[in-house]
Amino acid sequence: MKQRHVDVMILGAGLSGISAAVHLAKGSPGTSYAILERRSRIGGTWDLFRYPGIRSDSDMFTFGYGFRAWHGTKILADGPSIREYVQETADEYGISDRILFGRKALKASWSSEAGLWTVEAHDESTGEREIHTARFLVNATGYYNYDEGYRPRFAGEEKFGGTVVHPQHWPKDLDHRGKRVVVIGSGATAITLVPAMAGEAEHVTMLQRSPTYIMTLPTHDPVSVVLRKLRVPAPLVYKLGRARNIALQRGLYALSRSAPWLMRKVLLAGVRAQLGSRTDMRHFTPTYKPWDQRLCVVPSGDLFKVLRSGEASVVTDHIETFTEKGIRLKSGQEIEADIVITATGLQVQIAGGAELEVDGRPVSTRDHVIYKGVLLDGIPNLAIILGYTNASWTLKADMASDYVSRLLNHMRDNGYTRVTPVATEADRSQESAMGDSLSSGYIQRGDAVMPRQGTRAPWRIFNNYYRDRRALRRSPIDDASLHFESRPTATGATEPTRADVPTRVA
């Protein structure tokens, strides 16, 4: 059984994990760290999902890292390009050699006596059990289950003679050319799949229970294209585009909350402009207010183009049962299909499914309040990197990683070995860290495992970039809600040597 020790153990080598590692490498030189990654490559979400047309649902000026510019002008980038961007970032900052691939974290246990986290991992290539110890643990695995997407079971599925696929587990050999395809769902995955498959399929039907708000964006950022032609340096183009789009994101969300009737009119007018006045708007008119669920965006109206051409269509109804030839709806209509894609969402989990415990007691993350959206009350030396639900994930994840680096520096400079956020009863609420303003299915399902947020700062989550920037990057680390200690660590918990730092495992 292998054993390793580092100052900081990071779980996950996706967008958030690489950000956490870069902030450590840049902001806390001399701090040893390693990353446990279950997959065989860097990228996380962007290595897992392989369905046709996969792309970001946030603009790349804000979805890219603040410390490393995204130099393309595409507003929404494709999945392989994003994975390559994360890989190049890891290589540039020397992160790749600190990753242990193929390791599934099974349990993370904190010992107050030793002042250490012990992470039990399984090497899935050899079957070997590994023990890793660290002074500080950073969970950067995101919040959903990589093994299993959300997949409701439909009546009569066993009768269906075609193929049923969940986008999270896309078969490499799936050939949709000339086939009749039904995509169940109306979220970001569904509206990406429909135009991506429509060109080669006989026909694609997007089958939704209820519509989603959809907004069209240009494929390329027009301001950045002009600046590039004027030979403005690429880093400045990125900086300007990022600042502009952060403000636009924040303004769009704020307007949606303060004047939902106005945003509704604007969004629906955009759909009519794309599809024409004869469009049956019931397929595009949600019953909820804008930003009660995440707003979906399409580049250059690609979804609307295939709808106008007749290559795809939208049906709004409920499924009664699958049949041998397709799906029968409650209205009595039957949609024939060769392939059915269940773009029905994801399952939410924390720490990649690893068990958490403190001094032998199991930790239920739902029972803990989250401090500044990063630390859990009552849990020593643990950070959870979570991004925004109402803006680009990376904006918040980047600031959270920077905060962790600052926190570790503060502890080192003051001789502290552990930090524990302590919430009062007045700080606690029953609202999830993901908020109760969004009614998306995965948000509601995630309530069972997500930490709570508090009633006031620093426990309240405002999902406001400008406010979070002050709290995470500019406010002093010392805080009445944080309890620092200087207890010596147990015998054997020594500073790691160079040999203790893992090398890259292919």
- Asked if 78 and 167 sit in the same domain, the reply is no
Asked if residue 449 has pLDDT above 70, the reply is yes
**CA pair distance 428, 376, nearest whole angstrom:** 12
3-state percent helix, strand, coil for the chain, nearest multiple of 5: 30, 25, 40
- Asked if 160 and 135 sit in the same domain, the reply is no
- Asked if 320 and 173 sit in the same domain, the reply is yes
Amino acid at 111: S
Question: Cα–Cα distances in Å, from 243 out to 62, 165, 216, 223, 236?
Answer: 8, 39, 21, 13, 11
Asked if residue 97 belongs to a domain, the reply is yes
* Last-in-domain residue among 310, 344, 378: 344
Asked if residue 248 has pLDDT above 60, the reply is yes
Percent of the chain with pLDDT over 90: 81
- Can you give the pLDDT at residue 505? 27
Residues 6+ apart with CB under 8 A from 428: 369, 452, 454, 455, 459
Residues 6+ apart with CB under 8 A from 128: 1, 2, 122
pTM comes to 0.92
- Asked if 108 and 157 sit in the same domain, the reply is no
Q: How confident is the model at residue 488 (pLDDT cuts 50, 70, 90)?
A: low
More confident site: 446 or 313: 313
Q: How confident is the model at residue 180 (pLDDT cuts 50, 70, 90)?
A: very high
Asked whether 169 and 189 are in contact (CB, 8 A), the reply is no
Element (H, E) at 484: strand 482-485
Asked if residue 506 belongs to a domain, the reply is no
Amino acid at 235: P
Element (H, E) at 406: helix 393-413
Model pLDDT for residues 207-244, shown as the tens digit of each residue: 999 999 999 999 999 999 999 999 999 889 999 999 99
- Asked if 205 and 216 sit in the same domain, the reply is yes
Asked if residue 26 belongs to a domain, the reply is yes
Q: Is the dihedral of CA 253, 256, 259, 263 positive or negative?
A: positive
Asked if residue 82 belongs to a domain, the reply is yes
Q: Structural domain tally of the chain?
A: 2
Show the tokens assigned to 72.
């393309």
Amino acid at 312: A
* Last-in-domain residue among 299, 321, 344: 344
Asked if residue 243 belongs to a domain, the reply is yes
**CB-facing half-sphere around the CA of 180: CA atoms within 13 A:** 11
Query: Structural domain of residue 229, as residue ranges?
Result: 151-344
Model pLDDT for residues 153-178, shown as the tens digit of each residue: 999 999 999 999 999 999 999 999 99
- Asked if 202 and 309 sit in the same domain, the reply is yes
**CB-facing half-sphere around the CA of 28: CA atoms within 13 A:** 23
* Least confident span in 1-5, 164-168, 452-456, 458-462: 1-5
Evaluate the omega torsion of the peptide bond into residue 260 and state whether it is cis, within 30 degrees of 0: no
- Can you give the pLDDT at residue 437? 54
- Asked if 96 and 163 sit in the same domain, the reply is no
Asked if residue 494 belongs to a domain, the reply is yes
Model pLDDT for residues 63-113, shown as the tens digit of each residue: 999 999 988 888 999 999 999 999 999 999 999 999 999 999 999 999 999
- Asked if 317 and 464 sit in the same domain, the reply is no
- Asked if 133 and 86 sit in the same domain, the reply is yes
Element (H, E) at 120: strand 116-123
Pairing of strands 355-358, 103-111: parallel
* Last-in-domain residue among 281, 313, 344: 344
Asked if residue 505 belongs to a domain, the reply is no
- Asked if 173 and 215 sit in the same domain, the reply is yes
- Asked if 328 and 383 sit in the same domain, the reply is no
Model pLDDT for residues 417-438, shown as the tens digit of each residue: 999 999 999 999 988 887 655 5
- Can you give the pLDDT at residue 500? 36
Asked whether 187 and 296 are in contact (CB, 8 A), the reply is yes
- Can you give the pLDDT at residue 1? 63
Percent of the chain with pLDDT over 70: 94
Model pLDDT for residues 277-303, shown as the tens digit of each residue: 888 999 999 999 999 888 999 999 999
**CA pair distance 191, 178, nearest whole angstrom:** 20
Asked if residue 455 has pLDDT above 60, the reply is yes
- Asked if 493 and 357 sit in the same domain, the reply is yes
The domain spanning residue 484 has which CATH number? 3.50.50.60
Mean of the per-residue pLDDT values for the chain? 91
